[in-house]
Amino acid sequence: MAVIEQIVERLQHVRINGKGRYMACCPSHEDRSPSLQITEQPNGRVLIHCFAGCGGADVMEAIGMSLKDLYPEGELDHHIPGFKRKTDSTIDELVLEIGDGWRKNGKHQTEAHKQEELAAWLRQQRAG
């Protein structure tokens, strides 16, 4: 079963919004009207976006999955121009590195981004 199918089957009030595109109620907050967009990319990656501002990690955790499930096997080593990382980085390390990059470049972080970064930091602290 494709990842997008696994995600969609765990959501409520799902509607098709085009090929490989869905809208659903966000499981991370009390959602009465679909605010979560789920999109499958041609390379198999799945993008999720809550228009109410929930973090991706929170959405995935609410359905019993993690951020790494959004990427096909081996796709975590994708390249972002100007972004250098260790090959053994975890998703939490990536979240923290991206947050550092945003602050260093003076980019604005939403409250949801800050919360996701804090959650990543806390998970790393608990892991030791």
Q: What is the pLDDT along the chain (128 residues), one digit of tens a residue?
A: 788 999 999 999 999 999 999 999 999 999 989 999 999 988 888 999 999 989 888 999 999 998 888 887 655 544 445 544 444 447 778 788 888 877 887 878 788 888 888 888 888 777 76
Q: What CA–CA distance (Å, rounded) separates 68 from 90?
A: 9
Residue 30 structural domain: 1-74
Domain finish residue from 38, 58, 74:
74
57 and 120 fall within a common domain:
no
101 and 68 fall within a common domain:
no
63 and 88 fall within a common domain:
no
Provide the number of structural domains found in the chain: 2
116 and 62 fall within a common domain:
no
Q: What CA–CA distance (Å, rounded) separates 41 from 20?
A: 8
83 and 69 fall within a common domain:
no
3 and 50 fall within a common domain:
yes
50 and 93 fall within a common domain:
no
Q: Is the pTM of this model over 0.75?
A: no
* 15 SS3 class: strand
Domain finish residue from 52, 74, 96:
74
Say if residues 45 and 39 touch (Cβ distance below 8 Å).
no
pLDDT value at position 28?
93
Helix (H) or strand (E) holding 112: helix 111-127
48 and 85 fall within a common domain:
no
Please name the residues in contact with 105: beta carbons below 8 A apart, sequence gap of 6 or more: none
